Amino acid sequence: MKKFNNLNLETRSMKGATKQAGFFHLPNDHIVKTIGVATLLCLVCSIIVSGAATLLKPTQVANALLDKKNNILAVSGISLEGKTVDQAFEQIDSLVIDIATGAVTDAVDATTFDQRKASKDAEYRVELSDDQDIAQIGGLSKYANVYLVKNQGAIDKIILPVKGYGLWGTMYGFIALEGDANTVSGITFYEHKETPGLGGEIENKKWQSSWVGKKVNDASGEPILQLIKGTVVAGTPQADYKIDGLAGATLTSNGVTNLVQFWLGENGFGPYLDKVRGQQNQASISMKTNVQERG
Ligand SMILES: Cc1cc2nc3c(=O)[nH]c(=O)nc-3n(C[C@H](O)[C@H](O)[C@H](O)COP(=O)(O)O)c2cc1C
C-alpha cells in the first residue's frame, strides 16, 4: 500500500513537472508533441504559401497579359525595335465582337475582356453541339477578342485567338490574316500539351512560316485550309489551301486543321470576317467609282 502511494506521488510530481516544463519539453516521441509540431508546421507553411500566392497574384496577372501582348505582336509581324511591349502594342486596336453576328460590340471592355476566361463563365458561355464542335472545345464565349493592325485607317492585319484539341490537350494560339480576311500572314501557338518533337512541332518557327500566304476560304466562302499528310508540292491543285502535316503527328495535325476551320468558319469568326470582306469590297468599289468619275 505504501509502495502504491509512493508511485502515485511520483506520477503526480512528474505530471506537475511536465506541466511546468511546457509543450516543448515533452519527449520528442510524445504523441502530443508529434501532432502539435506537425500541426504548427502545416499552419506556418500554409500561411507562407497563401501569403506568397496573394502577393504574387498581381505580378502573375501582369506577366500573363504581357505574354499575350507579346504573342499578338509576334504573329502580327510588329517588331519591338527598342520599344517596350506596351509601347509596341499601341499600334494594335483591340475590339470585341459578338461571335454570332460578327458585329463589333461595346457590351464589355475590349481592353480587359478575355474570351478564354469568358468561355468558362456561365454569363458568356455558349455550348456547341457535336456537329458544330469540330475543334473539340465544348463551348465558347459569345463575345470574342479581335486585334487589328491598321494602316492609314484601313485594316492591314486581323489577329484572332484560336484554340482546339490536339492529341493530349487543348492548343491555344493566334492566327493573323491580311486585310483581305482570307490570306494567312502568321500563326503562333503559345500553350499546348503536345509531345516535343512530334505534335509539339506546332511551335516550330520554320513550319509556322510555311503558313504565310496560304488562303483560307474557297470560292464559296468555306474555310478549306488544311494540314495534309506529307509535304505540299507547289503548283499542285489547291496547294494554296494546304499546309505540310507534322511528321509522326497526324493527330495533332488534324487538331490544327479542325481548329483553323472552326474559328475561321461560321461558328467562329466567319460572320465577322464576312463583314470585313464586305467592307473591303465596298471600299474598292467606291475607289474605282471615284477614279472613273475623275477620269
Ligand atoms: C509517346 C508518344 C507521344 C506521341 N505524341 C504525339 C503527339 O504529340 N501528336 C501526335 O499527333 N501523335 C503523337 N504520337 C503518335 C500518335 O500516337 C500517332 O501514332 C500519330 O499521330 C500518327 O501519326 P503518323 O500517321 O503521322 O505517324 C505519339 C506517340 C507516342 C508513343
Does 199 contact ligand 1 (Cβ within 6 A)? yes
∠ CA 280-282-288, rounded to 5°? 100
Residue in 250, 257, 259 to alter for ligand 1 test, most ligand atoms within 8 A of Cβ: 250
Residues 119 and 193 in one domain: yes
Q: Do 47 and 157 reside in the same domain of the chain?
A: no
Is residue 121 in some structural domain?
Answer: yes
46 and 144 housed in the same domain: no
282 falls within a domain: yes
Strand partners for 160? 175
d(CA 216, CA 223): 5
Of all atoms in ligand 1, which is nearest to the CA of residue 251?
11
Domain residue limits at 64 = 24-76
Q: Do 156 and 195 have their domain in common?
A: yes
pLDDT in the model for residue 25: 87
Question: Does the beta carbon of 92 sit less than 6 angstroms from any atom of ligand 1?
Answer: no
User: Is any atom of ligand 1 closer than 6 Å to the C-beta of 201?
Assistant: no
Same domain membership, residue 257 and residue 175: yes
pLDDT at residue number 16: 46
Whether residue 251 has its Cβ less than 6 Å from ligand 1: yes
Tell whether 45 and 98 lie within a shared domain. Answer: no
Judgement on whether residues 65 and 134 belong to the same structural domain of the protein: no
Do 207 and 267 sit in the same domain of this protein?
yes
Count of Cβ atoms closer than 10 Å to residue 279 Cβ: 14
User: Residue 44 C-alpha to ligand 1 middle, in angstroms?
Assistant: 45
Looking at residue 62, its pLDDT comes to 87
Residue 68 counted as domain residue: yes
Q: Is 250 in the pocket of ligand 1 (CB under 6 A)?
A: yes
Residue 4 lies in a domain: no
**pTM for the complete prediction?**
0.82
Shared-domain flag, residues 193 and 150: yes
Asked whether residue 8 is assigned to any structural domain, the reply reads no
Q: Which atom of ligand 1 is nearest to the CA of 246?
A: 26
Task: Note whether residue 30 is domain-resident.
Answer: yes
On whether residue 1 sits in a domain, the answer given is no
Binned average pLDDT, 10 residues per bin, the chain of 295 residues: 46 48 84 92 95 91 89 92 91 96 96 94 97 98 97 94 98 97 96 98 97 94 95 92 97 98 97 92 68 66
**Ligand 1, atom 10, residue with closest C-alpha:** 249
What is the per-residue pLDDT for 295? 61
Asked whether residue 100 falls in the same domain as residue 62, the answer is no
Q: How far is the CA of 16 from the centre of ligand 1 (A)?
A: 70
When divided into structural domains, the chain yields a total of 2
Q: What is the pLDDT of residue 240?
A: 94
Q: Which of 171, 193, 195 to mutate to test the pocket of ligand 1 (most atoms within 8 A of CB)?
A: 195
Burial 162-174 (b: 16+ CB within 10 A, else e): bbbbbbeebbbbb
Q: What's the pLDDT at 286?
A: 67
Where a domain ends, among 51, 76, 101?
76
Residues 160 and 55 in one domain: no
Claim to verify: residue 71 and residue 194 sit in the same structural domain: no
Q: Is residue 13 part of a domain?
A: no
